[in-house]
Structure formats: structure tokens, C-alpha cells
Structure 1
């Protein structure tokens, strides 16, 4: 168990005046079996005329706001207090063989199983291609338990792909990631999702944070001081388990979840519509501070 204070600052600076804008933010940490969110406070400058919270289709807490005064910058600061929990010591080899996942879900009447079907389908960033299936079958061999195979893929991506923020952009195709073996957490997560979905295994995209300062004696994790991304894999009777291909591990108490969806398009930290502004500069700062319990 660990307590954290998270401060996420986003600032847009525009070359020209923005007449008004409408925005949606996924920056509110979820309350889930992995964590409890005790408090979140949002500050927007300039002050919005209209703002509200709601749950989106995927169950994420979303902050909606509109700034209707002319402005040359927009700053959003979200401060949250979160307690995360230790992961359960599940034996990965007791999970269901991956070939049985699809049939078990379709034969089930349980809501959790039926809802997972959506995470098998293609989505905005995830297409269905044979090359993804070929990559997946390097790890998902006959009869292998789904969680054990997912961890093998997670470790392989971490060991053989290069973390390189300059190698890709938001629109870099997964085929390029697979060929060049370079990218960032978003890229590695999209690749892993595409591979597992090609085998009809429900897999979702998770957005969140990593602890800024590592525990004593360990190396700093890639992706800290920024938003981070990883994947969640579904197995009937066991539920969702989260894997981080950027760091080659199952998530631990240092991970904080803000939103889940089919891919990045569903959980972008801040997006919206603006009128005017011209070119802009974006500055993002994230601090994840462990507090004493």
C-alpha cells in the first residue's frame, strides 16, 4: 500500500488569440481494486464559464469545461491524492489457456465477460492485421496460460525495443513500431494490444502515472515525470491484469490509473475544440510524490 500526491500541469501557449474553447480532460484517477482516489482538485486558467464532471462510456471520470473569454494561453492543473494497493500474488500459470478465452467469453452470461468483448474489436489506433498475429504467436504457444504468455511478450518488448521519444509521433503506425523497434509507452502499448486482439484476447489501453522518485536502490523507471501508458489483459474468472511493456513488468503500487479505453483516442489527457489560436506550444509537468502513511 502506498499514498501519493499527484500534480499534473498542462499549459498551452498560442501565437494568436483563442476566441473560445471546449475541452475534455481524463486526469482524474480512478477508484478501482488497484487504488482509491480520495481527492481531486482541478484549476483552470482562464476560469471556465461552464464546467462539470461525468462518467464516460468506459467508466472514467471526465472533466468537461468551456473557456469563452479570449485568451492566449490555457493552463489546467489537477491535484489528486491516491492510495494504491499491492498486487495479488497470482500464479500466472493458473490462468486460462489463451486458446480458450474467446469461447469462454461467448458462452458466458456474466456481465464482466460480455463487456470484455468490445476490447477484442479494432479501434481508432488498432487495426486487425496478420503481422500482429505472427508477432503474438512467438509468445502464445499451444496451451500456454494467457497471463504467462502476456508477461513473456511484455518482457520481450522491454528487452528488445528501444525507448526513443524522438522516433515516433501520435500518428506513427503500429507496423512501423514493429519494424523499427523504437517508440514510447503509447507505441509499445498499442503494439501489444494489437497483437493480443489478433488472437481474440480482450486487451485495453490504460493511461496513468508512475512514481516520480524510485524506491531506494532501484533505477528510475522510464515514463515517470509524464503520463504513462500500459495494457490490461482479460481472463474469465480472474478478471483484468495490467502489464507494462515499457518497463517489462506487471504493474505494482507505484502505478496510478487515470483512465481505461480501447486505445489512446479514448483516454487522451486533454483534448477539445478551439476557435483561433494559430500555432501553439505545449508544456506538461507531472509530479508523483509518495507520502508517508
Structure 2
């Protein structure tokens, strides 16, 4: 599938910011055999004093910017064309949990996609007794790792209610789980905590999702949003698989990867600091359009 992606993020400040530094993580990744970035650009208004691109430890593309002059708003506009040729579902039989534990013990690689980085607690995915108990309840003896991933994702999808107004970016995953509602970030963090409690290395995937309008209606441009789902390591024979618990499916050609991390903190679309007084408001608009349209 070939997609054109448009993202606009704008910030308005109650009082002018005297200076700021921002990092934008929104450009689709290049993933060999799965995803190809054909073209991409980032425009920023007002023009920053410094604009540079680099990759972080996990291989995510960053756009860094610095503002030295007072400004009352920032508009970041990304445009990209990307081709997605395959998904991240399991393509071979995976091992059971005891075999997975032995494989993890034998791991010596500390590179960006090493499973060893994705087992311990992280900022947004801290151990929770209720989530761990829920995960064990859904576990069947001898079940292969990839089946555990799919089973927990499906169970979470059935038991949680998607509610765009129920949580904020700082709502703890344990609270969203207790209330059984939240957004894709909550679904993803809960599933990460559940899988890690069973000894399955798990991380956070940030990206875009092609969405389809209701039958008989036209697709609304700019009505989409950035999405999140789970990456889980199921042993050396299978490697990393990706599951979207919000939609109860393995990541397919409708899922466009922007970044990998241990949780949201590693892949937040915008991070930064500024010198200002008062509050701010922000808006985000995303459009994912198949080029064939």
C-alpha cells in the first residue's frame, strides 16, 4: 500500500515564549522488507534558528529545532509518502514461555532491538498486580508466545472500552485498566505491562493507522490521529511481532510505523522545553490517504 501522510501540530501560548527547544518524532521509519519512506519533509513556522535531523538509540527519526526569538505559536507540518508492503504478524511457530525464558538468558546483544531492553519497568509501563493477575488468568499451559500475545490483545479489546475523553497522556495504565476504558495509548501500556509480567519482552510502537469511513460516507481529511500498538519478542525463530489491542489485530499494511520504544516516553511525538509564562493549547491533525484515491 502506498500512502500520503499529512500531520499538523500547532501550539498557541498565552504569553510569548522567549526561547524553546523541541524534538518532533513523526516521520515514518524505513524498515527493510516492510516499509519504505519515499519522500518526507518537515516545515516549521516560525522559522527556527536551528533545524536538524538525526536518529535516536532505537533508530527513530528525530527533527530537532531551537527558537531564539520570542514567539506566540509554533506550527509543525509533516508531509510524507510511504510504501508498506507487509505487516508484523508471526510467520513461524513460536516457542512456549519456558523456552522463551531460556532464549532470553542466552541473549548477549544490546543493540536497539535487543529484547533485553524491553523486560523491565519503564516510565509509563510500571508493574501492576491487578494487570499481572489478569494476564495469568488468560494464560494456558504450554501456549506458544505469539498465541499469548494475540489472546491477551483480544481479551483486552473485549474488556476495555475505547473512550477518547476518559484519560489524558499522564493517566496511569493501572487506573485506565481499573476503569476499563481509555485510548490506544492506554490499551498499549496495559498490554505491555501484562506481557512483561509473563516474561515476554514488549515495547511501544508509535505510528499512523489508515482508517475507513462508515459505509456510504466520505473519508474526512485530517480526522485521523497518531496511533499506538504493541511490539512483542517471541523468540529467535519468530522475532518481533506487533499487535494492535485497540483493534484486535496483528499490525498489517494499514499500520505505518513511526517509532519503537519501551513506552510512550521514548516515542512521544513532541518533546521539549521553553521559557514562557502561562498556559498553552495544542491541536493535532492527521491525514492518512492511500495514493490510489
TM over 0.5: yes
Q: Hey, what does 2:265 align to over in structure 1?
A: 265
Q: Hey, what does 1:144 align to over in structure 2?
A: 143
Q: Hey, what does 1:106 align to over in structure 2?
A: 105
Query: How big is each residue's C-alpha offset from its partner over 1:147-171, in whole Å with a ceiling of 9 and x where there is no partner?
Result: 1111111111112211011111112
TM-score, normalised to structure 1, is 0.91
Structure 1 residues 28 and 4: alpha-carbon distance in aligned structure 2, compared to 1, 3 A threshold: same
Distance in 1, Cα, partners of 2:96 & 2:111: 18
Distance in 2, Cα, partners of 1:243 & 1:114: 17
Post-superposition shift, 1:20? 1.1
Distance in 1, Cα, partners of 2:120 & 2:39: 34
Distance in 2, Cα, partners of 1:174 & 1:37: 32
* Aligned residue pair count: 288
Distance in 1, Cα, partners of 2:251 & 2:214: 15
Query: How big is each residue's C-alpha offset from its partner over 1:189-215, in whole Å with a ceiling of 9 and x where there is no partner?
Result: 000000111112110100001114369
Structure 1 residues 268 and 88: alpha-carbon distance in aligned structure 2, compared to 1, 3 A threshold: closer
Distance in 2, Cα, partners of 1:42 & 1:282: 18
Q: Hey, what does 2:288 align to over in structure 1?
A: 288
Could you list the runs of 4 or more consecutive aligned residues of structure 1 that deviate by over 4 angstroms after TM superposition?
Answer: 88-92, 109-114, 214-218
Distance in 2, Cα, partners of 1:27 & 1:137: 35
Distance in 1, Cα, partners of 2:88 & 2:275: 48
Question: Secondary structure of the equivalent of 2:47?
Answer: coil
Distance in 1, Cα, partners of 2:142 & 2:259: 32
1:87 aligns with 2:84: no
* RMSD, matched Cα: 2.4
Q: Hey, what does 1:3 align to over in structure 2?
A: 2
Q: Are the counterparts in 2 of residues 139 and 150 from structure 1 also a CA contact under 8 Å? A: no
Q: Are the counterparts in 1 of residues 224 and 288 from structure 2 also a CA contact under 8 Å? A: yes
Structure 1 residues 242 and 134: alpha-carbon distance in aligned structure 2, compared to 1, 3 A threshold: same
Structure 1 residues 177 and 99: alpha-carbon distance in aligned structure 2, compared to 1, 3 A threshold: farther
Distance in 2, Cα, partners of 1:3 & 1:137: 40
After TM superposition, the structure 1 = structure 2 runs for residues 226-241 of structure 1, keeping only pairs within 5 Å, are 226-236=225-235, 237-241=237-241
Post-superposition shift, 1:122? 0.6
Q: Hey, what does 1:199 align to over in structure 2?
A: 198
Question: Secondary structure of the equivalent of 1:82?
Answer: strand
TM-score, normalised to structure 2, is 0.91
Structure 1 residues 260 and 88: alpha-carbon distance in aligned structure 2, compared to 1, 3 A threshold: closer
Distance in 2, Cα, partners of 1:95 & 1:268: 31
Distance in 1, Cα, partners of 2:207 & 2:89: 22
Distance in 1, Cα, partners of 2:69 & 2:225: 29
Post-superposition shift, 1:131? 2.4
Gaps of 5+ in 1: none
Distance in 1, Cα, partners of 2:216 & 2:240: 30
Post-superposition shift, 1:251? 1.1
Q: Are the counterparts in 1 of residues 88 and 242 from structure 2 also a CA contact under 8 Å? A: no
Post-superposition shift, 1:90? 4.2
Post-superposition shift, 1:144? 0.3
Question: Secondary structure of the equivalent of 1:137?
Answer: helix
Gaps of 5+ in 2: none
Structure 1 residues 104 and 40: alpha-carbon distance in aligned structure 2, compared to 1, 3 A threshold: same
Post-superposition shift, 1:136? 1.1
